[in-house]
Chain A
Amino acid sequence: MEFDSPEEKEFPGLYAAEAADSKSKKSKEESDFDEDHEHNKMDLLIGKRKDKKDKGKDRGYAALEGESSPEEELETKSPSKSKKSKTFKFVSSKSKEKREKSRDKEKSVEEPAHKAKDADKDKDKERERHEEKELKKKDKKKDKKDKKSKQLSQQQDEDAEEEDLAMGYPVFGVSVSLATERSRCHDGTDLPMVVRDCIDYLQEQTRNFLIYKVEPLRTELLHLKRLYNHREHNAAMALFTVPLACSLLKLFLRDLPEPMLTTDLMYDFEDVARNRRGKEQRIGLQQLMEQVPKCNRTLVGWVMLHLYAVTDQERYNKLNHESIAVLLSPTLQMSVPLMVALLRHCRTIFADIQLIQYVPPLTASSQLPEDPEDIQMELRKQDSLLTQIHSEMNAGFITKNREEQLWEVQRIITQLKRKLRSFEKKQEKSIEELDVSANQPAPAAPVAVPVGEDTTDASQPTAAPTSEVTITEEHKPGRRASSSSPVTHSIDVSDCIQVHRNEEEEPSSPSPPLYTIDGESGFVLLPESNPHREELLRLQIEYDELVALQNELKARIKTERNEVYRLNRLCEQQLLKHQAAAGSQPPKEAEYERIIEHYKRENALLEHKKQMLGKELKEERRACISLQVELRLQQF
C-alpha cells in the first residue's frame, strides 16, 4: 500500500472523521487500508493478478517514455529501454493505463448494474463488482510493481513534484467555488467535476438497493479522492461502484470547509425548516436559497435533486425522504427536518436545474464531430478546457501530463477550427458560383450590398420587429452576403460562435410565415430556403447528392441579386428624402459614403477572393439586412 499511504499522511484528520462516521456500518473495512489487509487480498487474487501481469508490464513500459506523447507510444516501447531503473510511480502514468483498462471494465461494471432492477439481483451484481474492484486493485498493484522496476529514477522526481502540485491545488477540502473553478464541467454547469461524476453515475443507479447504504473500502475511496485531486477524472470514474460513488460524493461534501448552505445562512435555513410549514416553508427556503452563492446553489440543487430522484425509487431502494435525511444530514451539515424540507421542495426551488449527463470534451482518439453545430459546441468545451489548463499551469500546476494535455487540446481545437473553416469554404464556394451568375446581370450588385451598412447598427434592431413583412423579403440578399463571409470569419470562431449562430437564426425566424408575400414584390420564392436555412447549409455539404436543389436555389438567387441591385439604386435616390421622415435612420451621409467605399473595396476583393470579407462578417450581414429593410420601408 505504498501508494495510498502518502494520502493518509496528508489527511490524518479526514481519516479519523471518516472512520467515525462509518464505524457503525463497516468498521472492519475501516482498517483495511493497512498493509495486512492488502496482502490478504492480494493473496486471494493472486491468480488473477498473474494473468494481468504481463499486460500491465507492457503498458508500464510504454508510459515511461518521456519524449513522445503518451497517447502515441503506449504499445511501442521496447522492454529493454524502459527497464532502466526502479522507481516508485505515482498516479499519473498509472492512471493512464487504468483509464484504458477501465474502459472495458466500466462496461462490464455498468452493464450489470443497469440491468439490476431489484435488490436481490443487485446483491449478486455487487458481488461481481466487488470482484472486479479487487481485480482492478490488483492491476493497480501490478502496475505499481512494474513501474517500480522499470521506471527511470527521473520519473520519480517528476512524479513527486506532481504529487506536491496536486496537493497544492486540491479539489477536496476547498470551498465550493474553488473546487468548481479547479475542476470545471466544460459544458457550462458550475459544478465540481467530482460531484458531477458521482451524481451522473448514481442517477443511473437510483434503484440500486445499496445506494447510500454501503460503505466502500477506504483505500479505494481515498484512491479516488487522490485521482480527483490529480484531475484524473476519467481514471477515477472508471473505477466507480455504487458504494464508492456515494461515499466519494459524501466525502467531498464533508470536506467542504463550510456547509454548502453557508455558515451565515445556516441558522435561517434551520429556522424556516423548523417553524414554517407547506407553502410558507417553501417560499422561505426559496428566498434563502437566492442568497446562497451561485455555485453553492448549483451544488445544493444538484445534490438535492439527485437525492430526490433516489427517494423517487423508494420502492426499490427503500429510501424515503426521512431515511435518506437521517443517513446524510450529518454529511451535509444540516438537521434532518431541514433536509427533509429541502427534499420536499427541491423540485420547485431548483426548477431551473436539470440533471444532465456530462459529456466531457473529446480526446485525441475520438472522432471529431461533422456537423458544424456540434463542432462549435465541442469548440466551446475544448476552449473551456484549454482555459482551465492554462490557468492551472499559470498557477504553477505544471506536470508532464498537463503539458501533454495542453498540446492535445490545442491540437483538437485547431482541427475543429480547420474543419469548420473548410466547411465554410465549401459553402462559400457554392455561393461564389451563385454570385458569379448573379453578378453578370447586375455588376453593381456587390456595391449595393455595402450600402446598407450605414443603417445597420442603429436601425437593425428596431426595424426588424416593426416591419416583419418586409424583413423576410429583404433577408435574402443579406443572407447571401452573410453566407459568403463565414469563410474568413473562422479565425475567431470559438469566440463568436454563439453570436454567429444567433445572427443566422435571426433572419430565418420571422420569414417562415411570410413567404407568400414575396410574390407581390417580384422576389423569387427564395423563402422556401429560409425555413430550411440550416438544412441548406447541410445540403451544401452534401453538395453532390443535392445538386438538383442547389440549381434551383441558384436560379432564385440570381433573380434576387437583380432585385437587390434595383432596390439599392432606389435606396440611394430616396435616401436623402426619407432620412428626415424615418426617424430610425440616424446615419449621416458622410458615414454612408465612408462605409460604402469601405465595402466597395471589400467587394472588389470578394469577387476575386471571398475570404477577404470574413473579418467584416457580422457588420456586413447586419448591414445588408437592415439596408434591405430600409429600402422596403421607403418604398411602401
Chain B
Amino acid sequence: MSKKPTVGPALHKVIMVGSGGVGKSALTLQFMYDEFVEDYEPTKADSYRKKVVLDGEEVQIDILDTAGQEDYAAIRDNYFRSGEGFLCVFSITDDESFQATQEFREQILRVKNDESIPFLLVGNKCDLNDKRKVPLSECQLRAQQWAVPYVETSAKTRENVDKVFFDLMREIRSRKTEDSKATSGRAKDRCKKRRLKCTLL
C-alpha cells in the first residue's frame, strides 16, 4: 500500500502450488535470480516481483511461492483468491506429489470458482529422468483432462523455467483482455466473465 512507484506496467499475479519439496521455490528463485539452491528450506510463503518483457511489452510479474504443507493451508486460501494464474508443480520423481496436484487443482477451482483460470501443470526435476516415477503419458493425460498445458522443467538446469512463467503470463494476459472486453457490457462477476470462454473438459 502507500506510496506507489511512478510507472506501472501491467501486473500479473502468479502463484506456485504443489507438494513440499517438489521445487516450487527452486523454480521461482531460478526464474527470479538465476540461482539454484540445492538445500531444502521449507517455505511458509514468499513473494517476489520482477519486471520482464513479455512479447515486447514490459510487464511485471508477482510470484507468490506458497508452502507445500497442509500446515499452511489456512493462509493459502488468502493468496489463492488474489492469484491470476497458477503453476501447479510436482516432481516427476515422486508419484505422491503428482497425485497431490489433483487436490491443489480442486482447491484452486474452489477458491477461484473458475474452471478456465490460467493454469499450468509443471513436472519439475526433469533432469532426474533416470529416477522418473511418473510416466510422461500419465502427466499428459491429466493435463488433457484439465485442459491445461503440461510442461516439464528443471530448476537445476533452468530448462523450461522461463517458458512456464512466460506461458502462464500470456494466458493471464489474454484472459485479462478478454475480461476487459466482456466488462464493457457487464462487469460484475469476474468468474462469470471468465466462464464465457470456459474450455470444455
CB-defined contacts of B49 to chain A, threshold 8 Å: 411
A401 touches B1 (CB 8 A): yes
In the bound complex, CA of A154 to CA of B180 (Å): 11
Does B135 lie at the interface of the complex (its beta carbon under 8 Å from any beta carbon of A)? Answer: no
Using a CB-CB cutoff of 8 Å, which residues 494-531 of chain A contact chain B? none
Closest to B187 in A: A154
In the bound complex, CA of A76 to CA of B60 (Å): 13
CB-defined contacts of B62 to chain A, threshold 8 Å: 69, 407, 411
Given contacts A68-B60, A72-B60, A491-B41, contact A364 B2 (CB under 8 A): yes
CB-defined contacts of B38 to chain A, threshold 8 Å: 609
B1 touches A403 (CB 8 A): no
B1 touches A152 (CB 8 A): no
Does B74 lie at the interface of the complex (its beta carbon under 8 Å from any beta carbon of A)? Answer: yes
CB-defined contacts of A364 to chain B, threshold 8 Å: 1-3, 5
B81 touches A404 (CB 8 A): no
B9 touches A100 (CB 8 A): no
B3 touches A72 (CB 8 A): no
Does B176 lie at the interface of the complex (its beta carbon under 8 Å from any beta carbon of A)? Answer: yes
In the bound complex, CA of A394 to CA of B77 (Å): 9
CB-defined contacts of A74 to chain B, threshold 8 Å: 4, 6, 8
CB-defined contacts of A71 to chain B, threshold 8 Å: 1-5, 8
In the bound complex, CA of A175 to CA of B145 (Å): 52
Given contacts A67-B10, A403-B81, contact A414 B2 (CB under 8 A): no
A69 touches B46 (CB 8 A): no
Does B39 lie at the interface of the complex (its beta carbon under 8 Å from any beta carbon of A)? Answer: yes
A76 touches B1 (CB 8 A): no
A393 touches B6 (CB 8 A): no
| 28 A–B pairs (Cβ distance < 8 Å), ordered by A | A62-B8, A68-B9, A68-B60, A69-B60, A69-B62, A71-B4, A72-B8, A72-B9, A73-B11, A76-B8, A96-B1, A152-B187, A153-B187, A364-B5, A365-B3, A390-B74, A390-B78, A393-B78, A394-B77, A398-B81, A401-B1, A403-B81, A410-B46, A411-B47, A411-B48, A491-B41, A609-B39, A611-B39
Q: In which size bucket is the chain B interface?
A: 35 or more
Closest to B51 in A: A72
Closest to A390 in B: B75
Interface string of B1-45 (1 = CB under 8 A from A): 111111111110100000000000000000000000011011001
Choose from A67, A393, A403, A614 the contact partner of B11 (Cβ within 8 Å): A67
Given contacts A408-B1, A410-B64, contact A612 B39 (CB under 8 A): yes
Closest to B60 in A: A72
Does B79 lie at the interface of the complex (its beta carbon under 8 Å from any beta carbon of A)? Answer: yes
A258 nearest CB across to chain B (Å):
32
Interface string of A378-411 (1 = CB under 8 A from B): 0000000000011001100010010111111011
Main SS class of interface, B: mixed
Closest to A365 in B: B3
In the bound complex, CA of A405 to CA of B78 (Å): 11
Interface string of B121-143 (1 = CB under 8 A from A): 00000000000000000000000
CB-defined contacts of B6 to chain A, threshold 8 Å: 74-75
Does A430 lie at the interface of the complex (its beta carbon under 8 Å from any beta carbon of B)? Answer: no
A410 touches B7 (CB 8 A): no
B47 touches A73 (CB 8 A): no
In the bound complex, CA of A154 to CA of B45 (Å): 30
B11 touches A491 (CB 8 A): no
A73 touches B188 (CB 8 A): no
In the bound complex, CA of A606 to CA of B176 (Å): 48
Given contacts A99-B2, A153-B187, A491-B42, contact A73 B8 (CB under 8 A): yes
Does A157 lie at the interface of the complex (its beta carbon under 8 Å from any beta carbon of B)? Answer: yes
CB-defined contacts of A407 to chain B, threshold 8 Å: 13, 47, 62, 64, 79, 82
B82 touches A488 (CB 8 A): no
Does B183 lie at the interface of the complex (its beta carbon under 8 Å from any beta carbon of A)? Answer: yes
Choose from A99, A157, A406, A612 the contact partner of B78 (Cβ within 8 Å): A406
CB-defined contacts of B78 to chain A, threshold 8 Å: 389-390, 393-394, 398, 403, 406
CB-defined contacts of B60 to chain A, threshold 8 Å: 68-69, 72
Closest 7 pairs between A and B when the two form their complex, measured CB to CB: A72-B8, A73-B8, A71-B4, A154-B187, A68-B11, A410-B47, A363-B2
In the bound complex, CA of A71 to CA of B13 (Å): 14
B2 touches A234 (CB 8 A): yes
In the bound complex, CA of A609 to CA of B40 (Å): 13
Does A372 lie at the interface of the complex (its beta carbon under 8 Å from any beta carbon of B)? Answer: no
B47 touches A414 (CB 8 A): yes
